[in-house]
Amino acid sequence: MDIKQYEQQRRQVASFMTRLYDRQLTTASGGNISLRINADLFCITPSALDKGLLTFEDIAVVTIDGKNMTPHLRLSIETEMHRLILISRPDCTAIVHAHPTYVSAFTAIQKDGKCAINTHLIAESYYILEDPVLVDYRLMGTVNLAEIAAVKAFDHDVLLLENHGAVTLGRSMLEAFDKMELFERAAQMTVITAQMAASGYDVSALGESRLKQLMQMKYQK
């Protein structure tokens, strides 16, 4: 297979990983991004390389069956999670896995067994993220994590991995990236509003009727 024909997709993945790093949404060694190339292939960031300095030549090409078509590149340990999510969600084109600071803090915090990040504070957060789902802890890089994440991703685009990080799905790379960035902002707003409430301020989140109105607006296009 001549992987040179996929340079555009590989450049896009490398570019968005640099952007993810520059926005301080992940670290030099953490996080991974994948992009569906076609029904048979996807590309993904590698392991053991500086995530802030990737070029298109560093981006691996993998078959949907899991075969590395760029054997000179060491695949991300989360390749199986990306692969199974892409299979689970044929409508999904891009996946971002990262460890933003505030979001990551919430991976160790639960509220009634659910994700404690409040996406109901502003309309944009709920419109784009809806209610994130909490994925129970599984050891990173394992098939167990890949399988449970793929199941949760079947009907959710935003996953909070217990004691680990976050995963966002999109129909484009920009959409998946935007969800991760907005997820971090929602986590920050959750902390800020909790602090303000503790200081005696009233916090007014979106009520059920407003949430329903937003979903009608989103899905009746």
Contact criterion met (CB below 8 Å) for 30 and 9: no
Q: Give dist(CA 135, CA 160) in Å, integer.
A: 6
Q: φ, ψ for residue 95 (rounded to 5)? A: -135, 135
| Tokens of residue 170, six digits | 């999109």
CA dist., res. 107 & res. 185, Å (int): 15
Does an H or E element contain 85, and which? helix 79-88
Cα 94 to chain centroid distance, Å, stands at: 9
Q: Which of 78, 80, 130, 184 is catalytic?
A: 78
- Whether residue 78 lies in the annotated active site: yes
Pairing state between β 32-36 and 60-63: unpaired
Helix (H) or strand (E) holding 44: strand 41-44
Helix/strand/coil for 220: coil
What distance, in Å, lies between the first and last C-alpha atoms of the chain? 40
What is the secondary structure of 149-178 as a DSSP string? Answer: HHHHHTS-SEEEETTTEEEEEESSHHHHHH
| Catalytically active residues, by annotation | 78
